[in-house]
Structure 1
Amino acid sequence: MMNQDPMYYVSKLELKPHPEGGYYKQTFVSNEQVTDEELSVTYDGKRKLYTSIYFLLTSTDVSHFHRLKSDELWYYHAGSSLTVHILHENGTYEEIKLGLNLEQGEVPQALVPKNSIFGSSVMEEDAFSLVGCMVSPGFEFQDFEMFTREELLSKYPEQEEIIMKLAYEVLPE
């Protein structure tokens, strides 16, 4: 039987708080690197071919809207289903249910395209979700961008409901 205490996983997997919300730990980093010349996106210097983390989110928190310069693959591991909320570059909103209830439209893995603005939330109350995220080219905090409600509402006013739920009023320091 799966342990239902999220702090069990935080402790056993040695997760630490993530600036976007939730907890994380980097688990894998590619030994290979790629350069700007090999990629369609401009990075400041070389990037690892891929990086991977554990990410745990509880229903009392959200993963706030943020953007990466790289594609991110999400993999469901344990706990409640997770909703990944995506604002695509063209302004359309997409909701992906990450989990194992295939009959309800959930999927065990999903792609968040590079340059999308995205966040996530746990679907059930008093629950948590443990997922894995693989970023390619590899994650670097200098490629990580968070947003305020004001910034997003000025660009995507038609997405006000989800922006109010997932964007910071003021960015954390």
Structure 2
Amino acid sequence: MQKAATFWREQLQLQSHVEGGAFRETYRSEWVLDMTTLPAGMSGNRNASTCIYFLLEEGEFSAFHRIAADEIWHFYDGNTLTIYEIAPGGHLLVHKLGRDIQNGEQLQVIITAGNWFASRVEVPGGYALTGCTVAPGFDFADFELAEKGALMAAYPAYATLIDSLTH
């Protein structure tokens, strides 16, 4: 039986996230990777990996942002989460994170480092409880929240989508 979003928010002790939704970090690797071994764009040492719980409810969204590492999304409970990813050259990928594998949903979705992405639950009254694993580990120094006007100018074909998924 599916739990309510409030159950997960309370039980997992989730807090508001700057990009939207709620989260809690659950893992930060003790292994630290030296910056000389990391891809370009990372300005310091990074933990090998990090992991969070992430909850979005209908009416909320995770605003377009990008990070300098690959991010793997995992589906746990609730309704389908739609993740919009803009790849280099402007190709839009629409991922469906959920349990309905026979209808094209995926239990895991990989967002490529440096790509812009945003997400939302498109089921009325729904929510999605997910997890995100980042390697090399997440650091806010590698996080960039999209500026609406600049992203719309870069990808005018997606202006309506960008307008709806930026602050």
Normalising by structure 2, what TM-score?
0.97
SS of alignment partner, residue 137 of structure 2 = coil
The residue aligned with 1:35 is 34
The aligned amino acid for 1:53 is I
For the residue of structure 1 that corresponds to 2:102, the secondary structure is helix
Q: Map 1:7-26 onto structure 2 (within 5 A).
A: 7-26=6-25
Aligned equivalents of 2:35, 2:67: Cα separation in 1: 16
CA distance in 1, matches of 2:89, 2:29: 31
| SS of residue matched to 2:93 | strand
**Mapped contact 1:49–1:136 kept (Cα < 8 A):** yes
Map of 1:127 onto structure 2:
126
Identity of aligned residues (%): 32
Shift of 1:65: 0.3
2:164 pairs with 1:165: yes
For the residues of structure 1 that align with 2:118 and 2:41, how far apart are their CA atoms? 23
- 2:83 match: 84
Q: Secondary structure at the match of 2:164?
A: helix
Structure 2 residues not aligned, in runs of 5+ = none
Give per-residue Cα distances to partners, 1:65-120, cap 9 Å, x unaligned.
00100000000000001011001122111100000101110010010000000010
Give the match for residue 171 of structure 1. none
Root-mean-square deviation (Å):
1.0
| Alignment match, 1:103 | 102
Describe the SS at the equivalent of 1:90: helix
Aligned residues: 167
For residues 38-117 of structure 1, the aligned pairs below 5 Å read 38-117=37-116
Report if aligned partners of 1:36, 1:42 keep a CA contact under 8 Å in 2.
Answer: no
In structure 2, C-alpha distance between the alignment counterparts of 1:118 and 1:97, rounded to whole Å: 13
Residue 150 of structure 1 and its aligned partner are, at CA, apart by: 0.5
**Which residue type is aligned with residue 2 of structure 1?**
Q
After TM superposition, give the deviation of residue 148 of structure 1 in Å. Answer: 2.3
| TM-score, normalised by the number of residues in structure 1 | 0.93
**Stretches of structure 1 lacking an aligned partner (at least 5 in a row):** 169-173
The one-letter amino acid paired with 2:105 is: E
Instruction: Give the match for residue 2 of structure 2.
Output: 2
Do 2:41 and 2:142's aligned partners in 1 also have CA atoms closer than 8 Å?
A: no
Cα distance in structure 2, aligned partners of 1:26 and 1:69: 18
Which stretch has the larger CA shift, 152-161 or 61-70? 152-161
Letter matched to residue 2 of structure 2? M
